[in-house]
Amino acid sequence: EAPSKAAGYRWYAEFQRGRISLGKQYGGGPSNTAVIPENIDVVRKLIMEERHVTYREIQRTLGISGTAVQKILHQELGPLSETRWESRIKPINPLYHQIGEVYDSLEQIANDGNRDANTKHMAQC
């Protein structure tokens, strides 16, 4: 049976932190370097894929402490609703600032006598 997607994320994060094998490692306490860009990106992806992901699932996936998860979620990513909506809003932001130009262009097409009736009708909608 293939490893889960969460296991893949966890292994990726562990190798990014310098781990060289998947065997058990013994150490003392949580890593001081848990809040790193790679972990932040993994948490962001987990949230985008499954909006109901829990702190414990994130902890298990990355192998980091609950404190590190909290810091990533609240200090690095900000409110989850913002994170989710930013990904939807950013692509249309440039269009928002050019809406006047788009409207003017459509109006010109609608009033152009050289255009066929279907094109003029579509520009008016």
Mean pLDDT across the stretch 60-65?
Answer: 90
Higher local confidence (pLDDT), 56 or 108? 56
pLDDT of residue 19: 74
pLDDT of residue 22: 67
Query: Could you tell me the pLDDT band of residue 16, with boundaries at 50, 70 and 90?
Result: confident
Compute CA distances 37 → 16, 17, 60, 100, whole Å.
10, 11, 18, 38
DSSP class of residue 109 equals H
Of residues 100 and 85, the one with the higher pLDDT is: 100
pLDDT category at 56 given cuts 50, 70, 90 is very high
Residue 117: in which H helix or E strand, if any?
helix 117-124
- What HEC string does 34-70 produce? CCCHHHHHHHHHHHHHCCCCCHHHHHHHHCCCHHHHH
Domain ranges of the chain: 5-78, 94-124
Cα 46 to Cα 64, 93, 102: the distances in Å are 15, 25, 37
Handedness of CA 7, 13, 16, 21 (dihedral sign): negative
As a whole number of angstroms, the distance between CA 54 and CA 9 comes to: 15
